[in-house]
Structures are given as structure tokens and as C-alpha cells.
Amino acid sequence: MKYMLLIYVNPEFAAQLSEQERTDLFDEVDAIMEDLRESGELVGGEALADPSTTRTVKLHGGLPAITDGPFMESKEQFGGYLTVDCESIERATEIAASWPDVRVGGAMEVRAIMQNSEAEV
Amino acid sequence: MTNQPETVADTLHASAPLVLGRLVARHGQFDACEDAVQEALLAAAAQWPQKGVPDNPRAWLLTVAGRRLTDWWRSERARRDREAAVMAYEPESAAVVPAPGDEPPSSDDTLKLLFLCCHPALTAPSQVALTLRAVGGLTTAQIARAFLVPEATMAQRISRGKQRIKAAGARFAMPPPDERADRLRAVLQVLYLIFNEGNTASSGPHLLRNDLTTEAIRLVRALHGLLPDDGEVSGLLALMLLTDSHRAARTNAHGALVPLAEQDRTRWNRTAIAEGITLITDALSSFPPGPYQLQAAIAAVHAEATDPKDTDWPQIIALYRVLSHLAPNPMITLNQAAAIAMVDGPEAGLDLLKQLSKDERMAGHHRLAAVRAHLLEMAGDHRAANEAYQEAARRTTSIPEQRYLEARAARLTTRQVTFNSALGGSGGAEGDQAAGSR
């Protein structure tokens, strides 16, 4: 079963971290990624650029209108994701819980990925 | 696709376990031998379509893989390690292993490989990946594509599986008689997992999906050839053939799912059905029934009904009863409830579902909601059926199934609204819109 782990980060928290804390955080992420690679569970993932560089397209007066900034106004912003292929949602949640951003004011969302399964109905 | 590459692929897939078996029997070191065979297969896949298949493809592969092994060992300068490893493996006497070229096909080797790849020390994904590569002769890239994961991920599952085999001290040998039944059950489970994964279409060409079902059937067929007197092996082969026989009828021209009761049964593969029915009939008359045989028997009852109305539901219920006794499982109870509804009416089925919803494993499962929806629709309670279909649609992670469930829900809404407007109410257009927005 494939799950996407959506990483919500709080840029304010991240900005307050010391150089050492930041380095530790990156090391921790690297270690988790390496573990997932080794266990054969890692499918993929990307980190996103700072939310301030975001553009949002929305319908306005019947036409798509472009605005600067993210779609959702929130302290936590979508910062990236990783996709894992693992046994259960419990295991996916365990991976999410180990993600360091959770400790620094962020949040992880665990979402099952839809498949093109054609099992008989 | 022309016939030529098809022949090459078939030859490669059939040769892989035999070549690997002989190498492992001679040298031990399953890990290294498996890598060597994979390289030989890749070399053959690159060369044979152009240069033609050699007269003795197996000897060719054995020579290339053997050379690869020698190269590695030489470059690693691990002579001593190797000798130690070979000793530890206690291979069958090298003297009795004939030289390449005059080897008799050793089918026992294929069986030993299957037992090794499906060793209980491995995780299911590793068992599946290793079986497809070592026994199926597929490349890592092909397996990764079929499972929609990066090649590196699949390679990792394979190498991890091999590490586990080594760590568990598993040997390239037949399991002892007292473990054999359990180990064979594990093998069948892995092969069934591969088959079911084949029902998962990728977003890419449908060929990928069918490859895995075809591959699973090929492997079980080979296993059946080796163990013709095992009822469950026959049962699994029959179950796969009967399930796969619906393939062409399971989706319509738009790719939407067609439920069993509404499938165009003239599109079922009659050759596969005939083979499946023969297999399961023979198996059930000679061996004590096991779960795969019973599931195949149920599939056979469906296959025998050319019109869904002629389905022998009492027979199906009887088979489910034996199955749920033999291998209790909420999923079986769920199917049983659907069958009971066909004989005793939807209320009887719904009663059974009520008990099932207390089961933690099933409570939030989309299949439970889907069957409940179906039975409620049968009972004429369209409002509740609509809700249950929508609940099932929210819970499933299958895109085609979600589409099917949403369409069912929408159909009920439309019907209800049409019924209302016939009574003088308004909102027919609204109903159509709701249906159209899905």
C-alpha cells in the first residue's frame, strides 16, 4: 500500500533554529531517508521551495486569476512530501511520527494513495 | 510484438530458475549466483534478439553467468572467504554436477529456489520481488515497473531479501518433511500475491498489469507440473485461471468496472474456464479440500452459469460454509452474506453484515459498506443504499472501484428524483446534474 506523507512546516520555527540544530535536523532527515531506502519502502519525495515564492491560480469573475502567495493562509505551510510503499497505515504513521519537523511545530499528514486496482466488484 | 522477442523472453523466463539452480547447487552462494544469472539474462536479452537464440540457450546462460561469477571472485580477491562460504554451504557433491551443455533439466532445483525465495524470514515484498527475479527470470527494472516503484527500491528489496536468507542460514535444499506443508503454503501465498498485484493496473499500458497475472499463472503452472499430487497447488492454478477468465469482461470500453452479475459472459475466456474446471474437479475428487480449492470451486460455480440467473447460489453458500469453517476470515463472511442474500433475501444477508460490523478488521472497510449498499438496494431502501455506496466510495483507494461506487450512488439519486418528479415534484434537472457531476 502506498502512502504520501505530506510535510507541513512552520517557517517561523525553522528560522529560529541555530546552525547546529539545523544541521542536526538535516542529518536526521537523511538518516530516515537512508533507512527507508534500505528497507525498500521509499518510493519518492520532493522538498518544496519557500512558500513566499508560491503563485496561486483561482477562478475570479469567471477567469483564472493569479495571485502571489499560497492558497491556504496558515502558519504551517506545505513544505514537501515523501511517498512510501509499506505494509500498513500504522507503519506509515510510525514513519511520519519519526519526522523531525513534527518536533519543531510542523505536522505530518498521512494519506493513502489511490490505485488503479481493478479487483472484481 | 513480433514472435521473435516473445520467444526470447519465454526462453529466458523458463531457463532462469534451471540455470540458477545448477549454479547454486555447484557453488553455493545463492546471493552471488542470483546476481550472475540476472546479468546473464540481461546480456541475453540484449544479444539474442539480434544474433538469434543460441542452439543451447541454457548452456549459454550457464557459461555467461559462470564467467561472471569467476570475474567477481577474482576481482574481489576473496578466495579465502569464498572457500569458507562454499564449505559452509555444503553443496551437493560437485562431482555429480555435469558440465555445462549436457545438463539434464533439474526441476527439483526450481522447487528449491521457490522455497528459498519464499522463506519465512523474508518480508512479503522481498519474497515477491525475489521470486519474480530468481524463479521468474524477470529483470529488476521489469519488476519495479510492474509495482510502480523506482528500480532502486526494488533492487533494495531483492538485496535485503538475500541478506535475510543468508542471516537465517536458509539453504538451497528441500525443507524437512515436517516443515514442508507450511513452507509450501508460504510459496502459494506469494504466488497468489503476485497474481492479485496483477489486477492492479498501472497508469501506463495495461500490458504491465497483465504481465504479473500471466507470470503468476506461469509460475503456478510450473509448480503444478512439479507437484501434480498437491490439491492446493491445483486449486490455486484453477482459481487463477477462473478469475483471469473474466479479464475481458471486467471493464467496459470506457475502462469502468462491470460487476460480475452484469458482465457479458460471452467474453469470458472459455479455454481458461474449461481448464480451471477440469483442474478443480480432479483436485476435489482426489484430495481433502483446502482454501484455494474451495475458492476455485466457488469460481467454477459462477463460471458454469452462462446467465447470472442460473447461478447455483445454494451450492455457493455451501462452499462458503466449508471455507469459513476451514479458514475463518471476515472477507469470506462478507461474500457469504452476499450469497445468502441471493437465496434467502437481502434481509438475511444484512443480518449477517450486522455481526460483521462488530469485527474490528472489517468495521471501516469499504467492501463491507459496498456489500451493505448492494443489499440495501436489493431491499429497495434506496436512500440508505445511496449513503452506503457513498461511504464505500470514500473509503476505497481504488480509482475504478470508486468510480463504480459513485456511479451506483448517483444512479439511485437520479432514480429517486425521477420518481419524485413523476409524482409532480420538481428537481429532475437537479438530479441529472448530480449524476452528471460525478
**pLDDT-based confidence at B387, cuts 50/70/90?**
very high
Computed over every residue of chain B, the mean pLDDT equals 86
Nearest to B150 among A43, A115, A120 (CB): A43
pLDDT, tens digit, for every residue of B98-111? Answer: 444 445 556 688 99
pLDDT tens string B129-183: 999 999 999 999 989 988 889 999 999 999 999 999 999 999 899 999 999 999 9
Residue type, B388: A
Which pLDDT belongs to residue B174?
Answer: 92
- In this prediction, residue B175 carries a pLDDT of 93
* pLDDT at position B390 over 50: yes
Whether residue A40 lies within 8 A of chain B, CB to CB, comes out as: yes
Hey, are the CB atoms on B398 and A42 less than 8 Å from each other? no
Pick left, alpha or beta for residue B202 (phi over 0 → left; psi -120 to 50 → alpha; otherwise beta): beta
CA-CA distance, B134 to B221, in Å (whole number)? 17
Pick B64 or B253 by higher pLDDT.
B64
B148: chain A residues, CB-CB within 8 Å: 2, 43
Length reported for chain B = 438
Among B157, B200, B203, whose Cβ lies nearest the Cβ of A40? Answer: B157
The predicted structure's pLDDT at residue B36? 96
pLDDT at B146: 84
Question: CB neighbours of B164 closer than 8 A, spacing ≥ 6?
Answer: B119, B121, B122, B123, B126
A18 part of contact set with chain B, CB < 8 Å: no
Task: State the first-to-last Cα distance of chain A, in angstroms, to the nearest integer.
Answer: 20
Mean of the per-residue pLDDT values for chain A? 91
What pLDDT score does B254 carry? 83
The pLDDT value recorded for residue B199 is 64
| The predicted structure's pLDDT at residue B337 | 96
Rounded Cα distance between B303 and B301, Å, is: 5
Partners of A43 on chain B (C-beta within 8 Å) are 148-150, 153
Banded pLDDT at B287 (limits 50, 70, 90): confident
> Which of B150, B196, B399 lies at the smallest CB-CB distance from A116?
B399
Asked if this assembly's ipTM is beyond 0.90, the reply is no
Q: Pull the grid cell for residue B9.
A: 523472453
Say whether pLDDT at B413 is over 50.
Answer: yes
Q: How many CA atoms lie within 13 A of B341 on its CB side?
A: 22
Residue A42, beta-bridge partner list: A84
Taking an 8 Å cut-off on Cβ atoms, the answer to whether B259 and A113 are in contact is: no
| Over residues A54-63, mean pLDDT | 94
Predicted local distance difference test score (pLDDT) of residue B1: 37
Q: What are phi and psi for residue A105, nearest 5 degrees? A: 90, 5
In the prediction, which pLDDT does B426 show?
Answer: 42
| Contact status of A116 with chain B (Cβ, < 8 Å) | yes
In this model, does residue B207 exceed pLDDT 80? no
Q: Do B202 and A38 touch (CB under 8 A)?
A: no
- In this complex, the residue of A38, A114, A121 whose CB is nearest that of residue B397 is A114
- Joined grid coordinates for residue A85: 510503499
A64 phi and psi angles, rounded to 5 deg: -70, 125
Structure confidence by residue, pLDDT tens digits, B363-382: 888 999 999 999 999 999 99
Q: How confident is the model at residue B321 (pLDDT cuts 50, 70, 90)?
A: very high
Assigned CATH topology for domain B336-423: 1.25.40
Interface test with B, best of A35, A41, A118 (most B CBs within 10 A): A118
Nearest one of B131, B161, B165 to B146, comparing CA atoms: B131
Select, from the ranges B252-256, B298-302, B419-423, the one with the highest average predicted confidence (pLDDT).
Answer: B298-302
Q: In what order do the strands lie in the sheet with A2-9?
A: A42-47, A77-85, A2-9, A107-112
Nearest CA in chain B to A42: B153
Interface check for B398 against chain A (CB to CB < 8 A): the answer is yes
C-alpha cell at A37: 531506502
On chain B, the residues whose CB falls within 8 A of the CB of A116 are 200-203, 398-400
Q: What is the pLDDT of residue B414?
A: 67
- Residue A8 sits at φ, ψ, to 5 deg, of -105, 125
B299 close to B239: Cβ distance less than 8 angstroms: yes
For A44, which of B150, B251, B400 is closest by C-beta distance? B150
B128 pLDDT more than 70: yes
Q: How far is B195 from chain A (nearest CA, A)?
A: 11
Radius of gyration of chain B (CA): 26
